[in-house]
Structure 1
Amino acid sequence: MIRKILQYIFLGLAVYVTVVFLVINYYKDDPQAMIWQDREAFNNRFIENLSLEQQTELADVLDTLGSPDLTYVKKVDGEVLQIVFYRTQLVKPDGITTEDECTGMLFENNVLKLWGPGARVAFDKASN
């Protein structure tokens, strides 16, 4: 009798460990469903791991981070410049997301070129 109970306990633990492993390794985070504090942390982690060598594309960023909080687009000399802003730090708890609460990522023809404070400066300097 005790052996059968131990078998059920072992089987239950094995199923639990398997489910936890699958969720941790294969469940995709959905930034849109996160509370704002978790979303800011998620955005920060993603942005901190960016590298120009990766040739990150806009579609990859949108797929991972979801819709940007702010975005601007313009065409300069046949090149499409787009800057997307994702909230990464709370400045004023007023329910409105502003650029100073976000990190900008500048894309040229859908390829990441620059991020951080310099992204907005470079976007504004690009002449029409």
Structure 2
Amino acid sequence: MKNPVVKYVGIGFILYAVFAASVLTFYEDDPDQMNWEDRQSYNLKFINKLNLDHLHTIESIVEQLGAPDITEARKNKDTTLQVMFYRTKHAKSDGITTKDECTPLLFKNGKLIAWGITAFEQYNAL
């Protein structure tokens, strides 16, 4: 009697492990479908992995993080500057996302050139 129970538990465990591995391997995160806490955490982890050695464009960032929470842009002669704010830290439960709850990403002519506190300072200075 013990043998069939152990057998079924083992089969169940193996099926569960295969299912879990499949979900983790093939299911892509979709920031637009996440609740705000998960999206905030996802944004922070993604932004913390950014580096300037890799070319990041506005399109590639939006593809990974979804639409920004706040965005600003301006054009000076042939230079287009855009700063996109992604929520990365919760400050106040008021249902409104503010810039102090976000990490700014600065793009020059569609290419990422800076992120973090200095990115918005650079945007204002340029």
> Which position in structure 1 is the counterpart of 2:101?
101
Give the TM-score normalised by structure 1: 0.86
Residue 75 of structure 1: CA displacement?
Answer: 1.3
> Which position in structure 1 is the counterpart of 2:125?
125
Partner secondary structure for residue 18 of structure 2: helix
What is the number of residues matched between the two proteins?
Answer: 126
> Which position in structure 2 is the counterpart of 1:40?
40
Residue 40 of structure 1: CA displacement?
Answer: 1.2
Partners of 1:16 and 1:103 in 2: CA distance? 38
Partners of 1:6 and 1:93 in 2: CA distance? 49
Q: Any residues of structure 2 matched to 1:1-128 within 5 Å, and which?
A: 9-126=9-126
Gap runs ≥5 in structure 2: none
Give the percent of matched residue pairs that are identical in Structure 1 and Structure 2: 37
Give the TM-score normalised by structure 2: 0.87
Amino acid corresponding to residue 38 of structure 1 in structure 2 = D
Amino acid corresponding to residue 117 of structure 1 in structure 2 = I
Partners of 2:6 and 2:102 in 1: CA distance? 53
Residue 18 of structure 1: CA displacement?
Answer: 1.6
Q: Which moved more, 1:6-15 or 1:55-64?
A: 6-15
